Amino acid sequence: MAAAVTGATPATARKTLFTTTATLLSSSLTRGSRGLSCSAAAAAAPRLAPHPPDLVRWVQREGGFVHPALRVTDHPEHGLGVSAAAADGDIPPGDVLITLPGRLPLRLRRPTGAADDLLVQLAQQVPDELWAMKLGLRLLQERAKPDSFWWPYIANLPETFTVPIFFPGDDIKNLQYAPLLHQVNKRCRFLLEFEKEVRQKLDTVPLIDHPFCGQDLNSSSLGWAMSAASSRAFRLHGETPMLLPLIDMCNHSFNPNARIVQEGSVNSSDMSVKVVAETKIEQNAAITLNYGCHPNDFFLLDYGFVITPNPYDQVELSYDGTLLDAASMAAGVSSPNFSAPAKWQEDILSQLNLHGEGAILKVSLGGPDIVDGRLLAALRVLLAADPEAVHKHDLKTLMSLDAQAPLGPTVEASALRTVLALCAIALQHFHTKIMEDEAILKGELPLTTELAIQFRLQKKFMIVDVMQNISRRIKTLSPQKSTA
């Protein structure tokens, strides 16, 4: 990836750039007959250019700083990324590893002509939740230019991504997880519809005003751009998302050895972005940043990888009285009242935003909290018979699993047993068992199949962990008092 193009003059480089960019936009991103025809990446996805410019040298040439110990290498644990491969000793905490001056980050900009005006108009048609598509349009604009300032960066981007919108149909089914399937289908539908809007908008635009230099965009090229932005962009201080050359090749860790520091606001002339060593970095260690404490849904959907294990992984459930009634009865809890709560219980459910107009019914199991606080509080309240005892506690206490049976051990045991039943129901939604998944993973699999199976397997492991945690808590209640 870091190999420099040798023997290329500026003129021949511009010619090569035009040919490469035009070919990639018009053909490689339209191959195949599927609606989203860009294939998912292999284990080591090829770069957009066969022999891309040296990214480290480009950053240095354009006024940036790269620590002498850093190289772009294929790390045995983290894969392709930035590592201290040239270090002759440890890099101490506080050392600056990379500095990008304000002109190197790629971001949406204020319009400077008709082409930019059209780009902004297209970006305004994208829902805010798909912010990566907005930035992706800007990336496609630069990718289409035969003389883009950012070509050394763009040439080093992967040709394909391992996000689920590019999975084969069978591997999308292999995910076996409805919330993620919903998001994948939602993004695919958006890309297909947005392709029509883009073509309609640009159909009669003269070449001089065309934001993509006359190149034809389809759902595949749009999906590539959205995936590039979602997997590589940073939103520092909640500001405008930016693509940060070289910095975006630092891999993820929940225990990173480096951090990003932005100096100056996005629009200031002296803005810069730095990567600073957070801990001692040993020779050959990968430079890692924390992309965020998210479940695997987020990492697979936006980044194309699964973390094993992931302490922040969760399964989503819909808060539904009928489902909770069934779960509590299956758990042997007597007289459940979930589908027909009393008025005082409804009032508390409304405070938890689980009842009434505008209620948010999505709850979860797993992650640091083990059980969604709103779900736990609802179970405790609905299994309690004494409103006075409930009103002695604030919502924070009722929502905390660490609170020692605030409504008494009988109510607590019933609530926790209901959680166990919900876990069992969640496991039943997967069509395969843990042992089956583990056996499949021992074979030679396409990367997308491996990702899909690893994703669902980690969900199951997480559910089992929750069940074991809840079972231990139930055992701490005395057998006599824990009988519902």
**Domain harbouring 148, CATH code:** 3.90.1410.10
How many domains are there within the chain? 2
> Is 340 among the domain residues?
yes
**Residues 283 and 376 both lie in one domain:** no
CA distances in angstroms from 364 to 337, 432, 468, listed in the order given: 21, 21, 16
* Residue 259 phi, psi (nearest 5): -140, 160
Q: Region 219-235: what's the mean pLDDT?
A: 95
How far is Cα 472 from Cα 33, in angstroms, rounded to an integer?
Answer: 52
Residue 33 lies in a domain: no
- pLDDT for 31 equals 31
Q: Is the pLDDT assigned to residue 12 strictly greater than 60?
A: no
One domain for residues 175 and 272: yes
Asked if 332 and 288 sit in the same domain, the reply is no
pLDDT, mean of residues 105-109: 91
Compute the average pLDDT of residues 191-197: 97
Mean pLDDT to the nearest integer, 287-315: 96
**Percent with pLDDT over 70 in the chain:** 89
Element (H, E) at 333: none
Whether residue 224 sits in one domain with residue 148:
yes
Contact 398, 412 (CB under 8 A): no
- What is the Cα gyration radius of the chain? 26
Find out whether 319 and 378 touch, Cβ atoms under 8 Å.
Answer: yes
Residue 1's pLDDT band, with cuts at 50, 70 and 90, is very low
Q: Is 34 exposed, middle or buried (0-12, 13-18, 19+ CB in 10 A)?
A: middle
Residue 48 CB: number of other CB atoms within 10 A? Answer: 21
pLDDT for 120 equals 94
Both 125 and 262 in a single domain?
yes
Helical (H) or strand (E) element with 484? none
363's tokens: 């709850």
CB distance 135 to 120 below 8 Å: no
- The secondary structure of residue 26, as a DSSP letter, is H
> Could you say which DSSP state residue 116 is in?
H
Domain boundary among 259, 293, 327: 293
Classify residue 443: in a domain, yes or no.
yes
| 245 falls within a domain | yes
The per-residue pLDDT for 79 is 80
pLDDT of residue 27: 31
Domain end point (choices 293, 328, 359)? 293
Residues 469 and 388 in one domain: yes
Whether 230 has a pLDDT exceeding 50, the answer reads yes
Measured distance CA(29)–CA(420) in Å, rounded: 46
Query: What confidence category does residue 77 fall into, taking pLDDT thresholds of 50, 70 and 90?
Result: confident
Query: Hunting for tokens 């491969």 — which residue is that?
Result: 85
Residue ending a domain, among 293, 327, 353, is 293
Cα(460)–Cα(423) distance, integer angstroms: 10
User: Which CATH number goes with the domain that contains 449?
Assistant: 3.90.1420.10
Residues 288 and 329 both lie in one domain:
no
pLDDT recorded at residue 55: 95
For residue 166, being part of any structural domain is answered with yes
Structure confidence by residue, pLDDT tens digits, 111-154: 889 999 999 999 999 999 999 999 999 999 999 999 999 999 99
The amino acid at 345: Q
DSSP one-letter string for 127-184:
-GGGHHHHHHHHHHHHHH-TT-TTHHHHTTSBSS--SGGGS-HHHHHHT--HHHHHHH
- Are both 226 and 321 inside the same structural domain? no
5 belongs to a structural domain: no
The verdict on 162 and 120 lying in the same domain is: yes
User: How far, in Å, CA of 21 to CA of 146, rounded?
Assistant: 7
Same domain, 216 and 280: yes
| 127 within some domain | yes
Its domain, for residue 333, covers: 314-477
Lowest pLDDT segment from 202-206, 286-290, 302-306, 336-340: 336-340
Closest CA to 359 of 395, 319, 402, 391: 319
Does residue 16 fall inside a structural domain?
Answer: no
According to the model, what pLDDT value does residue 80 have?
A: 86
Q: Is the pLDDT score of 349 beyond 50?
A: yes
Are 81 and 247 contacting, i.e. CB atoms less than 8 angstroms apart? no
Distances in Å between the alpha carbon of 312 and those of 68, 129, 306, 371? 35, 21, 12, 12
Distance CA 14, CA 7 (A): 13
Q: Are residues 280 and 160 in the same domain?
A: yes
Over residues 85-102, the mean pLDDT reads: 93
First-to-last alpha carbon distance for the chain, in angstroms, is 63
Based on the fold, state whether residues 364 and 239 are members of the same structural domain.
no
Q: How far is CA 22 from CA 9, 138, 139, in A?
A: 20, 16, 14
